[in-house]
Amino acid sequence: MDAPQPIDLETWPRRQHFEHYLRTVPCTYAITVEVDATEFAAAVRRAGRRTYISQIWALAQLVNRHDEFRMTLDAADAPAVWGRTHPSFTIFNAERETFASVWTPFDPDYAAFHDAAAQVIAEHAGTTEFFPQGAPPPNSFDVSSLPWTSFTGFTLNIDGGSGHLAPIFTLGRYVEREGRLLLPLAVQIHHAVADGFHTARLVTEFRELLAHPDWVTD
């Protein structure tokens, strides 16, 4: 694993914002949106692919497109950017009513990632361990799913999490409205690394990926 690349603070436009929201006024925020997933759901069904894995890949593709969602603090407590980050995601054990956290290396090739993630899920589906693969790598971000309910708001309360700079995504159950399938998506992010503009851009790009899901069947 490559070390994160330090940011040149002398030229970084976000330096003052970062320092303010990380140290002076530690601040995270969350936004919940509904994303039209009608075309996406149909494409996944036609291709015989798995919905959750496909959602995870789409989010990972976007996280790896933008530096602000791959940020961390280096050993000197200075801001740095991972070259690539990998999704860590939850899988549910219905018998125990608990979940495990697993991860799969991100691959920009959707089909390759899908197959690798499906193998990880199959291998650990009945696990009794919280982290059956061991601790996820430091260059990872979290995705979880609540397929049992839709929601219009979702916020995580992370005690002492002011140094957690990676985004956290929560997906909900589809809701049908006027013939369209809508997917609840909650994004939690540290204000030190991203403003509303950056998160809104990611949401817009996620909408576009789901509206034009050619990548599912290519």
pLDDT at 30 (0 to 100):
96
pLDDT at 218 (0 to 100):
77
pLDDT at 158 (0 to 100):
84
Distance (Å, whole) CA 56 – CA 178: 26
- Residues acting as catalytic residues: 191
pLDDT in tens, 82-117: 999 999 999 999 999 999 999 999 999 999 999 999
- Contact (Cβ atoms closer than 8 angstroms) between residue 73 and residue 139: no
Distance (Å, whole) CA 70 – CA 81: 6
Kindly give the pairing relationship between strand 175-177 and strand 98-103.
Answer: unpaired
Instruction: Look up the pTM and report it.
Output: 0.96
pLDDT in tens, 135-191: 999 999 999 999 999 999 999 988 877 789 999 999 999 999 999 999 999 999 999
pLDDT at 159 (0 to 100):
81
The continuous run of DSSP H or E covering 72 comes out as strand 71-73
Q: Tally helices (H) and strands (E) across the chain.
A: 6, 10
pLDDT in tens, 34-75: 999 999 999 999 999 999 999 999 999 999 999 999 999 998
- Contact (Cβ atoms closer than 8 angstroms) between residue 87 and residue 59: yes
Distances (CA, A) of 110 to 56, 59, 116, 213: 10, 12, 10, 11
pLDDT in tens, 75-89: 899 999 999 999 999
pLDDT at 1 (0 to 100):
63
Average pLDDT score, the chain: 96
**Share above pLDDT 90 across residues of the chain, in percent, rounded to a whole number:** 93
Distance (Å, whole) CA 103 – CA 107: 12
pLDDT at 163 (0 to 100):
87
